[in-house]
């Protein structure tokens, strides 16, 4: 395939995400497969590149959470077609993540987008869903031996549960990296609770995730 056509397909995928066109994302993903573009290349430099642009639009307040969600839907639509065709050798296996929204909290917008980003980046994701009993995070980490546990909370009351989970996990396995997210979580709170990283809100969770994708794309290029 000539490089101009590859670029055209990658741009088609990227634009479909930015313009939140699910059908277009499916069509370009199918073209990528039909015309021999590597599936992982199409995801990272097509769909994920589009999500980076979405992150910039969100930063500039041209897009808001509803647009982010529609863009994520287009991303999913393309991913569903491309993912089964990823060659094992093209994806660096980066490890495992346990993710969920803590007990008492049913908000999962940010969590779902973060999950998607981990997924794109070659992590194996164990999604516990929302309103997750605190000990389930600990049990799932031990069961899977995951390197990262990502928790989100959107309310101050549920946020306190994160501290307990961190204490329980670190007591059993001090090397696990713990990432917190959600509206009430600040850097100070994350530090105080003993977390290793944090994302401020659903939108910031997306930003964090998009930064992660940028880093993953850089690593992929090297």
> Cα dihedral angle (71, 211, 14, 39), rounded to 10 degrees?
-110
Backbone angles phi, psi at 105, to 5 degrees: -125, 125
Residues 6+ apart with CB under 8 A from 1: 35, 36, 37
Q: Would you write out the chain's pLDDT as a tens digit for each of its 222 residues?
A: 789 999 999 999 999 999 999 999 999 999 999 999 999 889 888 998 898 888 788 878 899 878 988 998 999 899 999 988 987 776 666 788 999 999 988 877 778 777 877 777 778 899 999 999 999 999 999 999 988 899 988 888 888 899 999 999 999 988 888 888 877 888 898 899 998 878 765 555 556 666 655 665 666 665
Residues 6+ apart with CB under 8 A from 158: 102, 103, 104, 105
Helix (H/G/I), strand (E/B), else coil: 65: helix
The pTM (predicted TM-score) of the whole model is 0.69
Domain spanning 3-90: CATH 3.30.70.3270? no
Indicate if the alpha-carbon torsion angle 163, 168, 172, 178 is positive or negative.
negative
User: Domain 95-207 class?
Assistant: alpha beta
How many angstroms separate the CA atoms of 51 and 71, rounded?
7
The residue extents of the domains of the chain are: 3-90, 95-207
DSSP classification of residue 175: T
């Amino acid at each position: 395939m000539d490089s101009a056509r590859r670029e055209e397909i990658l741009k088609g995928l990227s634009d479909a995400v930015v313009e939140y066109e699910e059908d277009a994302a499916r069509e370009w993903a199918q073209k990528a497969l039909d015309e021999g573009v590597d599936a992982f290349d199409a995801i990272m430099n097509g769909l994920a590149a589009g999500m980076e642009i979405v992150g910039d639009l969100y930063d500039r307040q041209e897009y808001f959470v509803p647009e982010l969600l529609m863009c994520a839907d287009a991303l999913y639509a393309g991913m569903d077609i491309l993912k089964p065709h990823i060659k094992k050798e093209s994806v660096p296996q980066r490890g495992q993540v346990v993710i969920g929204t803590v007990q008492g909290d049913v908000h999962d917008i940010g969590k779902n987008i973060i999950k998607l980003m981990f997924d794109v980046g070659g992590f194996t994701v164990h999604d516990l869903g929302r309103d997750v009993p605190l000990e389930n995070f600990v049990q799932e980490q031990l069961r899977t031996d995951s390197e990262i546990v990502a928790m989100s909370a959107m309310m101050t009351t549920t946020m306190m549960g994160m501290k307990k989970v961190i204490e329980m996990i670190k007591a059993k396995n001090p090397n696990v990296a713990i990432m917190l997210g959600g509206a009430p979580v600040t850097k100070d709170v994350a530090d105080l609770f003993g977390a290793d990283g944090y994302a401020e809100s659903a939108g910031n969770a997306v930003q964090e995730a998009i930064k992660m994708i940028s880093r993953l794309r850089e690593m992929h290029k090297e």
